[in-house]
Amino acid sequence: MLLEVKNLFKRYGKKEVLKDISFSVDKGKIIGLIGENGSGKTTLLKVIAGFSRPTSGKVFINGKEVNVETRKYIALLPDTIIFPRWMKVKDALCFYSEFFDDFILEKANSILDSLNISKNMKIHDLSRGTIEKFSLALLLSRDANLYLLDEPLAYVDPLSRETLVDLILKNMSNDRTFIISTNIISEVEHLFDEIIILKEGKIVYMDLAENLREKSGLSVNQFFKGVDQK
């Protein structure tokens, strides 16, 4: 088992943001983590990544309780821009090469070429959609086990979404797992092996995407809209 989340609670002050979350994920799966704004998706991904501590409950990656060490198994794509203003694309490549032992520079170069992203550009001068593509390119150039993608498609135009979905698929393998949080479901749902729906910090639905479609006769997107209105 690659990831096990057991009875996880997260509180900010009096506000309970995650409520008794339990699930496990095998290697080689793509999980769709869906839920309306504020349902707790980002918080859950941050706790799994070890960047935020649970109030109670436990998270295990490759059988080890999450700590600084388990971060080496994880590649997190945050939902915010993390690069400083002065940084050029080529500087970020150097930084990633030095900081992450599992970063493969040749792979990053080849993905950036395929996306037509110039290495001499300042990252903040790129469009928001291009920054998303660039961030994903860096992330996929790491050889991690668990890839956590927080809203990877939010700022990307529909044509580029297809490119990014293809990129994710190309980089999928039997020993990698992706958890992708998204509100843009229809364009990515064909990627998902399993679906987790969060509502107000609780898991309200969890199943294989195939089962969801068979049992409900709906697409994941249609099903989510139904759950969300209840």
Ligand X SMILES: Nc1ncnc2c1ncn2[C@@H]1O[C@H](COP(=O)(O)OP(=O)(O)OP(=O)(O)O)[C@@H](O)[C@H]1O
Q: According to the binding rule CB under 6 A, does residue 50 interact with ligand X?
A: no
Residues 54-113 that bind ligand X (CB under 6 A): 79
Phi, psi of 181 (to 5 degrees): -90, 135
Instruction: Return the number of other C-beta atoms located less than 10 Å from residue 67's C-beta.
Output: 10
Task: Note whether 182 binds ligand X by CB under 6 A.
Answer: no
Q: In this structure, are residues 130 and 117 in contact, taking their beta carbons and an 8 Å threshold?
A: yes
Q: Please, which residue, 18 or 93, has the CB nearer to ligand X?
A: 18
**Between 10 and 108, whose beta carbon lies closer to ligand X?**
10
Among 32, 35, 50, 152, binds ligand X (CB under 6 A): 35
Nearby residues of 90 by Cβ (< 8 Å), 6 or more positions away: 119, 120
Q: Give me the helices (H) in 59-127, please.
A: 89-99, 105-114
Q: Of residues 37, 120, 174, 229, which one binds ligand X by CB under 6 A?
A: 37
By the rule CB under 6 A, 177 interacts with ligand X: no
| Beta carbons of 194 and 119 less than 8 angstroms apart | no
* Cβ 79 vs Cβ 150: under 8 Å: yes
**Contacts for 200 with CB less than 8 Å, ≥ 6 apart:** 19, 39, 40
C-beta of 79 vs 91, nearer to ligand X: 79
Tokens of 19: 């409520």
Does residue number 42 form part of the binding site for ligand X (CB under 6 A)? yes
Q: How far is the C-alpha of 192 from the C-alpha of 208, rounded, in Å? A: 8
Cβ proximity to ligand X, 38 vs 226, nearer residue: 38
Residue where the block lists tokens 């991690």 = 144
What is d(CA 195, CA 114) in angstroms, rounded to the nearest whole number?
A: 30
**Amino acid at the residue 130:** T
User: By CB under 6 A, which span of 12-20, 61-69, 139-147, 161-169 interacts with ligand X?
Assistant: 12-20
Count of residues of this chain found to bind ligand X when the rule CB under 6 A is applied: 12
Q: How far is the CB of 199 from ligand X (least distance, A)?
A: 10
Residues 3, 8, 17, 25: which binds ligand X (CB under 6 A)?
17
Please say which residue, 15 or 230, places its beta carbon nearer to ligand X: 15
Q: Bridge partners of 196?
A: 33, 206
Closer CB to ligand X, 44 or 89, in the complex: 44
Site for ligand X in 145-174 (CB under 6 A): none
Q: Which is nearer to ligand X, 41 or 133 (CB)?
A: 41
Q: Output the smallest distance, CB 186 to ligand X, in A.
A: 17
| Residues of this chain that bind ligand X (CB under 6 A) | 12, 15, 17, 35, 37-43, 79
